[in-house]
Structure 1
Amino acid sequence: MAQTEEQNQRKKDLELEKEDLSVEKVFENQEVPSWRKQLTIRALVVSFVLSVLFCFIVMKLNLTTGIIPSLNVSAGLLGFFFVSTWTKFLNKSGMLRQPFTRQENTVIQTCVVASSGIAFSGGFGSYLFGMSERVAQLSSNRTDIKNPAIGWTLGFLFIVSFLGLLSVVPLRKIMIIDFKLTYPSGTATAHLINSFHTPQGARLAKKQVKVLGKFFTFSFLWGFFQWFYTASDDCGFQAFPSLGLKAYKNRFYFDFSTIYIGVGMICPHIINISLLLGGILSWGLMWPLIGNKEGDWYPAGLDENNMQGLEGYKIFIAISMILGDGLYNFFKVLGHTLTGLYRQTQDKGQKNLIPVADQNSPSSPHQSFDFQRRTQLFLKDQIPTWFAIAGYVSIAIVSILTLPHIFHQLNWYYMLVIYLLAPTLAFCNAYGCGLTDWSLASTYGKLAIFTIGAWAGASHGGVLAGLAACGVMMNIVSTASDLTQDFKTGYLTLASPRSMFVSQIIGTAMGCVISPCVFWVFYRAFDDLGTPKSEYPVPYAILYRNMAILGVEGFSSLPKNCLLLCYVFFGSAILINLIKDLMGERGWFIPFPMAMAIPFYLGSYFAIDMCVGSLILFVWQKVNKAKADAFGPAVASGLICGDGIWTIPASTLALAGIKPPICMKFLSSATNKKVDQFLGS
């Protein structure tokens, strides 16, 4: 009987080995370069160029709707294209000294994603811009302000952006090898990079790059063409009332934005449908009905941005849904984390093995070739635990001493509490991300807004203190989960953990410089940045500021019946998530409350764009699924990159004071008749 069990176990192990055999056996004869050789000058140059491109893309998405898809595939694909072209040219001229490896490709992808990640976690579309006077004018609290400036923004980001990296370094072996966390995005990126460096994968990558280039060019030229017709507000194709003037007034229209068509092709279909449902529920039903209560629920004749009017319902109901969804997923992921940790420690206890960071894992004859090879190289270049701890403590001390000078509302003891709790929260986020592929960085940031804001109080600048604390917490937990994702990618591509860590530090440093500069271009070029009906409404900035106000002032600032509606939508977000989880795979059609909440403030125009992208991909998959799966991400990346890069010349033209020559507007026949009569007279 025991022999049969042993034979079955060996059979399973052989099947597992066959499953993974193709990966490392293919690269078995290739020498793995040392960690220093993985960090080449050409890799860092390409990383810098792509970081600028991706920071513009992420910044534009941040400042328009705040929906940012995963750009790992685009970063890996473009990194492969640039360096393989570079090495091919040098090889023909006989000057090539080092071939292009998958480890170098991983370094580029890591560096670019780390850099562009700062454009998100830096809060330029949320907490940081929420401190500004522009956003304060749209809220009930107009006193606690701190306008953006490159100087203090650079200092703030450099102080807080590296702590998350150092907090999870001692846990790298526990996460990747002992707990064997999946990190789906990191694993998918690794498989992509591995495939690029096989002969068949390289041929496919060249075709993908060609497709990406075509749609990049189309998207860029389309953005250029549209610019000519946008001489003033509500002009151009982006103001085209494609569904009628009444629908346009309620923000239902297709605005011909290629960037959101591309985003829609990357995002799951249910996310796009959730966005559209949220827009229909809010702008199609709720806001017109609440608008009819003007003079009863709220005073008539208020400014459209007044928080005591309809704007208050839009913002606070959206906040309640976001908080309900965020808290549900926080406790869900925390439950997964604690359950997983309990099981892992039970297993380790039975094997008399404590998972320590610098401890080598035992090898078993039944472990696959891939596992042994990857584990051996992953444990080869250790990052000393003492270095990570000493670095964390040193930067924390510097931060505690300096941040109160940037934000005088942020007392040193607030910072001390945050830095004592942050490593635990960073671990929870990194572990939860490994299980669910879901980073809850923004949720941890919102918890910091409410706790620190309430602690500081309204009389001591609680709004700014809460927003600044949100920034500190978001940067720590976000970079922690990003680094562990990259460690997983490096583990599967045999990239050294040391090169991964160094490239993440270099990418983070790049992002701390590039992101504020890119934001400053937008801030100076567009005077209406942050206003609700502008090209760049920055929706999350007003939402985050009002969260801080809510945490400090309580519910007294809400208009009539708004609190009741907030309770209803807060509970609905939890209930929808609960039903979705209980139904499992059968609940694929149930929408996501977080996605539904975003159009409550913005409207449905971008959701319609994303649904068009989703429909294109759906039809393509029905016609030719293999081709759609192979080239869909490349088409989407081209559309996103082309429109994103157009913002550079558009911003430059705006800074130079050059305005488009034409204003293309759409009027009703009655209004047009009046205009004709006026001009005729």
Structure 2
Amino acid sequence: MSPTTSSRRRGYREINHEEDIPSHTEPLTAAEDAELLDAEVTEFVEPEGLDALTWSFLASGVMTLAAYFLPALFSIPLFGHYLAREWLWTFTPSLSYIGQGIIMGFPTTLSMNLGMLVGWGILSPISKLSGWAPGPVGDMTTGARGWILWTSLAIMCTDSLVSLVPVVSEILTEKVFKLGKVSGSDSKEDKEPESEDRLVPMRWVLWGSAGSIFFGTILVWAVFGNEGIKPWATVIGYVIGALLSVLGVRALGETDLNPVSGLGKISQLFFAWIQPGNIVANIIAGGVAEAGAQQAGDLMQDLKTGHLIHASPRAQFYGQLIGSCLSIVVTSTAYSLYTRAYEIPGPSFPAPTAYVWLGDGQLPEKSDVSMITFAIVFAAISAFKTYASRREITYAKWIPSGVAFAIGFLNTPSFSLARLIGGITEYLYYRRMGKKNGGIRLIIIASGFVLGEGVDSVEVALYDTHP
């Protein structure tokens, strides 16, 4: 029998509806109320989660170190040396990738590998053999990898835009409904459970937003100059990014998908209209929208978690400010270490989308036909998936996800195959154990896999910088 620990927890308790409800409705006295709040709920928790996290962390760390000293271990020619050499079909037994696949789930990894088969197994050979991508397969400019990348972006943008349509429709419907309501005591519902001293005042939000836009515009102008992007255009970029961030947060909350790539492309399309031919302005506008939507989604998940555990929103706000300031130093230092230890872009960090943002504006031959075809197909698939998901149809999760499908194009097969192993592991584990009996042990192990490789990769970077 494993050891157990006893913990005290205050808060909500599930009501047993079969219990007799007291007939009196008199309010409790202060003493009775205090006694009720101080009632102890004792539960026994097996400390198996920490052991699982520790061992999975160590295992992933060992694999990372082995990959550094023996790189061939992470590029196994599973399908033969010819396919590995000429078509980049290798296998990377990364525990971090497997852990990510466990967290993603089987349906998502299945969509990703379906995209990998179509992109790298069908479109890549077609583009190469037809002469549309005559360079080496892995070349992002003249090779098949750069050719299928555009099809991937078309799928992601289409899927994101289609998934945003019902979100925008609901927002507009809610606004019209609120404007049409009669003001009065019955029309206002206060559902805020927090007291004023625990909330972030609205004036902080307004002044902070105005200050961020002002100083951000000044910094962009100082770095890129008036020829790069006009100050008024930068302000418009921030406003558009804020609006798109609202859509991104809403989509993430409802569908567990933040379509940041599609949102960035929307901003770029708008700037192609107001500042045609200005590549710098176009890239900045897309970056502002994409980064804003990404950070807004992360903040939403943080605040949602804090709400569930009754944390103070104001305390979280302070923590986010401190973390944002520290991250400026930490992230820039980490990036500097990574660029010294790894080739970026390179085999480990290909950064495929960066090639598109920095391209010469010319599409590869016949890639537009592929983009239009797949955009139409996945517009229909995404619409049907959104329809089925909103009506909670059981098979909705098995309809291919456009974003996951497109990611299978972006990365080489080695990335997707390892994640598929994690997805299959997640499916078989919960099918045998059940969601309730399985608990979160498997997710803890997957988190250890991801954390282990992440921490050890930083150590490798430090060692490579100062051996």
Q: Sort the TM-score into its range (normalised by shorter chain).
A: 0.7 to 0.9
SS of equivalent residue, structure 1 residue 200: strand
| Structure 2 counterparts to residues 189-268 of structure 1, below 5 A | 199-200=42-43, 203-204=45-46, 206-230=47-71, 236-249=72-85, 250-268=87-105
Query: 1:254-295 deviations in whole A, cap 9, x for unaligned?
Result: 31111000001100211101111111112112211222212x
Is residue 607 of structure 1 aligned with residue 420 of structure 2? no
Contact between 2:124 and 2:145, CA under 8 Å: does it hold in 1? Answer: no
Change (3 A) 1:650 1:579: same
Q: Quote how far apart the aligned CAs of 1:571 are.
A: 1.2
Q: Which residue of structure 1 lines up, in the alignment, with residue 10 of structure 2?
A: none
Change (3 A) 1:609 1:452: same
Is residue 430 of structure 1 aligned with residue 253 of structure 2? no
Specify every segment of 5 or more residues in structure 2 that has no aligned partner in the other structure, as ranges: 1-12, 20-32
Q: Distance in 2 between matches of 1:636 and 1:273?
A: 18
Is residue 396 of structure 1 aligned with residue 237 of structure 2? no
Give the aligned residue type for 2:345: G
Q: Quote how far apart the aligned CAs of 1:198 are.
A: 7.0
| Structure 2 counterparts to residues 153-172 of structure 1, below 5 A | none
Is residue 529 of structure 1 aligned with residue 344 of structure 2? yes
Give the aligned residue type for 2:236: V
Q: Distance in 1 between matches of 2:137 and 2:229?
A: 33
Q: Distance in 2 between matches of 1:435 and 1:619?
A: 26
Change (3 A) 1:316 1:423: closer
User: What TM-score results when the alignment is normalised by the length of structure 1?
Assistant: 0.58
Q: Which residue of structure 2 lines up, in the alignment, with residue 493 of structure 1?
A: 309
Q: Which residue of structure 1 lines up, in the alignment, with residue 171 of structure 2?
A: 337
Change (3 A) 1:448 1:496: same
Q: Distance in 2 between matches of 1:513 and 1:347?
A: 49
Change (3 A) 1:568 1:222: same
Is residue 406 of structure 1 aligned with residue 228 of structure 2? no
Q: Quote how far apart the aligned CAs of 1:378 are.
A: 4.3
Q: Distance in 2 between matches of 1:389 and 1:539?
A: 37
Q: Distance in 2 between matches of 1:493 and 1:429?
A: 24
Q: Which residue of structure 1 lines up, in the alignment, with residue 352 of structure 2?
A: 539
Q: Distance in 1 between matches of 2:354 and 2:448?
A: 28
Contact between 2:338 and 2:458, CA under 8 Å: does it hold in 1? Answer: no
Contact between 1:253 and 1:608, CA under 8 Å: does it hold in 2? Answer: no
Change (3 A) 1:464 1:490: same
Give the aligned residue type for 1:383: V
| Structure 2 counterparts to residues 342-361 of structure 1, below 5 A | 342-343=176-177, 352-354=186-188, 361=190
Q: Which residue of structure 1 lines up, in the alignment, with residue 200 of structure 2?
A: 383
Query: Identity over aligned residues, as a percent?
Result: 19
Q: Distance in 1 between matches of 2:126 and 2:114?
A: 17
Bigger drift between 477-486 and 574-583 goes to 477-486
Q: Which residue of structure 2 lines up, in the alignment, with residue 670 of structure 1?
A: none
Q: Distance in 1 between matches of 2:108 and 2:271?
A: 32
Give the aligned residue type for 1:275: M
SS of equivalent residue, structure 1 residue 377: coil
Change (3 A) 1:582 1:394: closer
Contact between 1:445 and 1:469, CA under 8 Å: does it hold in 2? Answer: yes
Query: 1:517-575 deviations in whole A, cap 9, x for unaligned?
Result: 1111111222x2203xx2221223224434xx5xxx4xxx2233221111101112211
Q: Which residue of structure 1 lines up, in the alignment, with residue 318 of structure 2?
A: 502
Q: Which residue of structure 1 lines up, in the alignment, with residue 37 of structure 2?
A: 29
User: What TM-score results when the alignment is normalised by the length of structure 2?
Assistant: 0.82
Q: Quote how far apart the aligned CAs of 1:308 are.
A: 5.0
Change (3 A) 1:637 1:292: same
Contact between 2:88 and 2:137, CA under 8 Å: does it hold in 1? Answer: no
Give the aligned residue type for 1:286: L
Contact between 1:313 and 1:559, CA under 8 Å: does it hold in 2? Answer: yes
SS of equivalent residue, structure 1 residue 242: coil
Q: Distance in 1 between matches of 2:413 and 2:145?
A: 16
Across the two proteins, how many residue pairs are aligned to each other? 433
| Structure 2 counterparts to residues 90-129 of structure 1, below 5 A | none
SS of equivalent residue, structure 1 residue 400: helix
Give the aligned residue type for 1:449: Q
Change (3 A) 1:535 1:430: closer
Change (3 A) 1:241 1:413: same
Specify every segment of 5 or more residues in structure 1 that has no aligned partner in the other structure, as ranges: 1-14, 32-196, 231-235, 356-360, 363-374, 659-681
Match of 2:332 among 516, 526, 529: 516
Q: Quote how far apart the aligned CAs of 1:412 are.
A: 0.1
Give the aligned residue type for 1:538: A
Change (3 A) 1:616 1:423: closer
Contact between 1:308 and 1:558, CA under 8 Å: does it hold in 2? Answer: no
Q: Which residue of structure 1 lines up, in the alignment, with residue 459 of structure 2?
A: 649
Give the aligned residue type for 1:242: L
Change (3 A) 1:624 1:311: closer
| Structure 2 counterparts to residues 494-643 of structure 1, below 5 A | 494-526=310-342, 528-531=343-346, 534-546=347-359, 553=361, 557-584=362-389, 585=393, 586-625=395-434, 626=436, 628-643=438-453
Q: Distance in 2 between matches of 1:281 and 1:627?
A: 37
Change (3 A) 1:491 1:600: closer
Contact between 2:164 and 2:247, CA under 8 Å: does it hold in 1? Answer: no
Give the aligned residue type for 2:423: S
Give the aligned residue type for 2:425: I
SS of equivalent residue, structure 1 residue 588: helix
Bigger drift between 281-290 and 213-222 goes to 281-290
Q: Distance in 2 between matches of 1:30 and 1:593?
A: 51
| Structure 2 counterparts to residues 37-56 of structure 1, below 5 A | none
Is residue 451 of structure 1 aligned with residue 270 of structure 2? yes
Q: Distance in 1 between matches of 2:181 and 2:251?
A: 19
Q: Distance in 1 between matches of 2:113 and 2:34?
A: 45
SS of equivalent residue, structure 1 residue 451: helix
Contact between 2:105 and 2:426, CA under 8 Å: does it hold in 1? Answer: no
| Structure 2 counterparts to residues 652-667 of structure 1, below 5 A | 652-656=462-466
Q: Which residue of structure 2 lines up, in the alignment, with residue 663 of structure 1?
A: none
Query: 1:101-146 deviations in whole A, cap 9, x for unaligned?
Result: xxxxxxxxxxxxxxxxxxxxxxxxxxxxxxxxxxxxxxxxxxxxxx
Q: Quote how far apart the aligned CAs of 1:592 are.
A: 1.0
Q: Distance in 2 between matches of 1:289 and 1:568?
A: 15
SS of equivalent residue, structure 2 residue 194: helix
Match of 1:292 among 102, 114, 129: 129
Q: Distance in 1 between matches of 2:450 and 2:35?
A: 33
Contact between 2:241 and 2:267, CA under 8 Å: does it hold in 1? Answer: no
Q: Distance in 1 between matches of 2:416 and 2:140?
A: 25
